[in-house]
Structure 1
Amino acid sequence: MGRPPLPVGAHGKIRFYELASGGVRAMTKVRDADGVTRPVERSGKSRAAAERALKSHLRTRQAPTGGEITADTRVEKLVERFLAETKRRRKGTTYDTYEMHARNHVVPALGQLRVREVTVARVDVFLRSCEARLSANTTRSVRTVISGAMALAARFGAISTNPVRDAGHIEGSPKDVRALTRSERVELLGKLDADEDAFRFDLPDLVRFMLATGCRIGEVLAVQDHAIDWQAETVAIVANIVRVKRVGLVRHEGKTFASQRVLPLPAFAMAMLTERRPADVLPDSMVFPNSRGHGLGRDSWRDPHNTGARLRTTLDLAGFEWVTSHVFRKTAATVLDQHGLSARAIAGHIGHARPSITQDVYMDKRAAGREAADALDSAWGSAEADEK
């Protein structure tokens, strides 16, 4: 019966050999993760020095994987491979964001390190420096790029664990959520209706639709006539239009799986959509087309960047500088919350996978009306009556 093999990752007995030129060579055999036992050696001026050099090498050594990513690969090359995978598997806007953060932050700071040199401590120091000069959301995106790249290195066997997982969390400053109140909504829509430029750019109806549905601006611009069920008074949100660098406008089939949903439409939205619907409408006609009219295909798509810029100018002129298109989403979520819908139901309505995001980031916590005071007044009055 043959001798049992070394355990994976273990090395055998260290042997020493005198060198003719002086010094000592320490040698052993290591059984790598692929099951192959390989000889490893290091030299030194003495047995002790050679042994120290060999053991130090064994602690940081990674087995040959046959892949293009190893422990000695520079982070810059690793990030290039990660971005290539991202471009193949993810949507264009995600790639653009990751590429920008890699180019501006990750590669300048870590690009010349070897993969094996990217430790938890180094990652944490880098992220803390990002926190000091970047927003919390940007720092989280930077962290995502590093984590994705190091996860790729782990898949290739270049490292055993992803060091980013143990780095400290990114703490963002809590922000108050502000939604449009009823009076503010009435005031804003009145000013938009009276603004000739806003009317020319079809902004009043666009804003009404966003308030009615809580949709993202790209989702609204992707709605086609056949997505509206005129009898059931619903709209199917199944896509969004985005601008991708070096490509142009692209229609994606939903930002995420959770973003694909069917929404009930309030009466004021149905009245608006019915009034603006042209007589020669086709099923594939865009509900909110560009200035060239109700054509079909890419030629009728409306650019969300240009639309957002025009909306920004119009809101500033109307005295609503603090309002963005996302405020319309927050307003819809807040109204639904004030009318008793659960966080899960509201998350499903505005297209969030996690209700916690909806609660923390999209709901205005300011008290609306006197319902809370009336409830407490009723309970307090009942308690006093019981005491008497």
Structure 2
Amino acid sequence: MSLAVRYGATAINPVREVDSIEAQPQNPPRALTGEEVTLLRKHLADDQTAVTADLPDLTAFMLGTGVRIGESLAVLWSQADLEAGTIEITHTIVRVKGDGLLRKPTKSRAGQRLLHLPHWAIAVLRTREAGGIRLDEPIFPDTQRGFRDPNNVRRSLRTALSPIGSTARRDLGQTLRHLRRETGMTRKQVADNLTWPQTRIELIETGRIKVDHEMIATLIQPYGVQLDHLHGLLAQIHDATQPAESDKLAWIRSHALRKTTATALDQAGHTARQIADQLGQAKVSITQDTT
């Protein structure tokens, strides 16, 4: 419209008088409570799959520093000074199409920072150090002692935070898996038939997702059976839909860990500038909007 006014096609620019549309985010950032932090760390420590994926220590490190997943995976042992209780953040791990995993400098100068670790985070790193280290290796390596893929870590974290809520959900998942195998269908075939993500089938069959009657009725349609005729399955669904303690973790994503660190610093009396420096944010306004 500005161009139209400039060339005389119209006398005024009506768009200039229009206010911008402001909308609340669908999932506003939220920090974990102290109870949720305790529950999260306990759950990850007790979950063998999470332990195998090295999530307990990585999550503790992120909670103690507020750094992003890619930044956490890029830190080398040479950048940790456990005597001084500091960690140097200079790089991040990204996957570039055609090039694979790259360790790149942070996007801005604000991203390069020296952070002081809380005592419990230092204790976590000392335990890892005791197992033997090389200064040129990442603190949180893959099985080959190289850099880990941030996307794989996010996927592992999502799976770990969709926990087996109860024995009833686990038993229901086993029954559903048995029904699927009796038909000779793979998870991919079922997912394609229902136009569902394949991961949803996996989460249901491993008891790592809240279910309801309608969801299960839809799931077993490709198996050629009617839910109302399976009284034992109906009873399992009833038991599996009951609330579980671990449901409190299902909403958590990696960004919530940064939000939790920022909120803890804010409650401890740190300024917005100090919190922004901790998180590696160049603009204080970003910190103020999300803390």
**1:305 paired residue among 148, 151, 155:** 151
Query: For structure 1, which runs of at least 5 residues remain unmatched after alignment?
Result: 1-57, 61-119, 125-164, 295-299, 364-388
Separation of aligned partners in 2, 1:262 and 1:348:
9
Q: Which has the higher contact order (CA 8 A, sep 6+)?
A: 2
Matching residue of 1:206: 58
Q: How has the CA–CA distance of structure 1 residues 188 and 168 changed in structure 2, closer, same or farther, with 3 Å as cutoff? A: same
Establish whether residue 346 from structure 1 lines up as the match of residue 275 from structure 2: yes
Identity %: 44
Partner-residue secondary structure (3-state), 2:266: helix
| 1:173 matched to 2:24 | yes
The one-character-per-residue Cα deviations of 1:10-61 (angstroms, maximum 9, x if unpaired) are xxxxxxxxxxxxxxxxxxxxxxxxxxxxxxxxxxxxxxxxxxxxxxxx959x
Classify 1:306/1:279 alpha carbon distance in 2 versus 1 (closer, same or farther; 3 Å). Answer: closer
- Normalization by structure 1: what TM-score? 0.48
In structure 2, the residue matched to 1:291 is 143
CA deviation profile, 1:151-206 (whole Å, cap 9, x unmatched) = xxxxxxxxxxxxxx999646332564311011110111111100000000100001
Offset of 1:246 from its aligned partner? 2.6
Matches within 5 A, 1:312-327: 312-317=158-163, 318-319=246-247, 320-327=249-256
Equivalent residue for 1:228?
80
Q: Per-residue deviation at 1:321?
A: 1.6
In structure 2, give the amino acid aligned to 1:244: V
- What amino acid is the match of 2:259? K
CA offsets 1:228-257 (integer angstroms, 9 cap, x no match): 012211000000001122321111111322
The within-5 A match list for 1:179-218 is 179-218=31-70
Once the two structures are superposed, the pairs formed by residues 1-388 of structure 1 within 5 Å of their partners are 169=20, 171-174=22-25, 176-278=28-130, 280-292=132-144, 294=145, 300-317=146-163, 318-319=246-247, 320-361=249-290, 363=291
Q: How far has the Cα of 1:278 moved from its partner?
A: 4.9
In the alignment, structure 2 segments of 5+ residues that lack a partner are 1-5, 164-245
Question: Root-mean-square deviation (CA), in Å?
Answer: 2.6
* Aligned partner letter, 1:312: R
Residue 301 of structure 1: how far off its partner (Å): 0.7
Residue 269 of structure 1 aligns to a residue whose secondary structure is helix
Q: State the one-letter code of the partner of 1:353.
A: A
When Rg is computed on C-alpha atoms for both structures, the one with the higher figure is 1
Question: Residue type matched to 1:173 in 2?
Answer: Q
- AA of the residue aligned to 2:151: H
Distance 1:176 1:230, change over 3 A: same
Q: Partner of 1:262: helix, strand, or coil?
A: strand
Q: Deviations over 1:306-360 (max 9, x none)?
A: 1100100101114312110000000000000011111111011111111121121
1:273 Cα offset (Å): 0.3
Distance (whole Å) between structure 1 residues aligned to residue 82 and residue 24 of structure 2: 44
Going from structure 1 to structure 2, the CA distance change for 1:166 and 1:240 (only over 3 Å counts) comes to farther
Aligned length: 201
Point out the structure with the larger helix share.
2
